[in-house]
Amino acid sequence: MLYRVLRVLLVIGAIAGMAYKGIIREDFENYKMHAIPALMYHSINHTPDKWPAELCVAPEVFEEHLKYLKAHDFNVVTTQQAIILLKSGQNVARTVILTFDDGYEDNYSTAFPLLKKYDYRGNFYVVGKDVGMTFNKDGIIQYMSFPQLQEMHRQGMEIGSHTMSHDPLAMIKPNFLPWEIYQPLNLFHEKMGFWIAGIAFPNGSFNDAVIAEIKKHVKYEYAYSGVPGCNTLKIVKDRPFEMRRAGVYDRGRGAKDIEKALLKCYIFGYLEEKGIPAELLDRTLTFLQETFL
Ligand SMILES: [Zn+2]
């Protein structure tokens, strides 16, 4: 591991040196013309008691993020639109995908109206068994219902699967994979009348058996891994079930928080295209953080 970390650091050092001399700027700007970041949100709400702060972005902060995208002329698309754009070879500079995991009710009551206000599309990955449910465990948790999801879909939002149970797919017994992967396809079609095309892996967890199971069901066009970076033609052609995505967190810096998340996606994606696997880079940074901070 240490050798691989050193190798990654050496390449990053070389690229940073070139960036310092201004050589890389143009290359990086060119990269952004064919790379689409996908950002991940969860609840758009003030953090309820006992909830981890990473799961919530306050509504007014979320709107600051949307204003930032508007001010910087971003095109905010669904994942299926992004895949079409990448395959068409168009310039996709300033194109971004906004995704929302877990299916919290505030996605419908808060995020959806805000997205419409800015004429933006969102992508909502919901957990099959939780749709329409209200739980009272450490405070009330409410999930979107099928009619709400249907209405969002009618108005241009993309709805996808976040599995049936939300258990990390690489950890469960392989004989449960068909239920986690196939069942939402059927259930959502039965309840809402349209086929979903995508799945977002709970906690970004997947392995070869997961990918093999998804490939059995032709309705699935893509899946989101938890690997940070950008989506390019190469990713959607070679690894459509390992699309890149990174979280946006409310660190109290308003629009700076989305700006930083976008930059992280572009840098990870750029380095990946230069031959540094995003998974390895992610692990290297975690290793450095744990060792030195
Ligand atoms: Zn989740």
Ligand 1 centroid to Cα of residue 211, in Å, is: 18
Overall fold of domain 36-270: TIM Barrel (3.20.20)
Which pLDDT score, from 0 to 100, does residue 1 have? 67
Write down the residue that tokens 């895949």 correspond to. Answer: 83
Cα angle at 237 between 78 and 217, to 5 degrees? 75
Ligand 1 centroid to Cα of residue 91, in Å, is: 31
Task: Give pLDDT tens digits for 226-270.
Answer: 899 999 999 999 999 999 999 999 999 999 999 999 999 999 999
Which pLDDT score, from 0 to 100, does residue 262 have? 97
Q: pLDDT band for position 17 (50/70/90)? A: confident
Task: Give pLDDT tens digits for 20-71.
Answer: 667 778 889 999 999 999 999 999 999 877 788 889 999 999 999 999 999 9
> What pTM value is reported for the model?
0.92
Return the minimum-mean-pLDDT range out of 20-24, 91-95, 181-185: 20-24
- How many Å is the Cα radius of gyration of the chain? 19
Q: pLDDT band for position 293 (50/70/90)? A: low
Average pLDDT over residues 74-99: 98
In the DSSP assignment, the letter for residue 34 is T
Ligand 1 centroid to Cα of residue 101, in Å, is: 5
Q: pLDDT band for position 82 (50/70/90)? A: very high
Per-domain boundaries in the chain: 36-270
Ligand 1 centroid to Cα of residue 247, in Å, is: 11
User: Among candidates 219, 269, 267, 223, which has minimal Cα distance to 243?
Assistant: 223
| Contact of 12 with 267, CB cutoff 8 Å | no
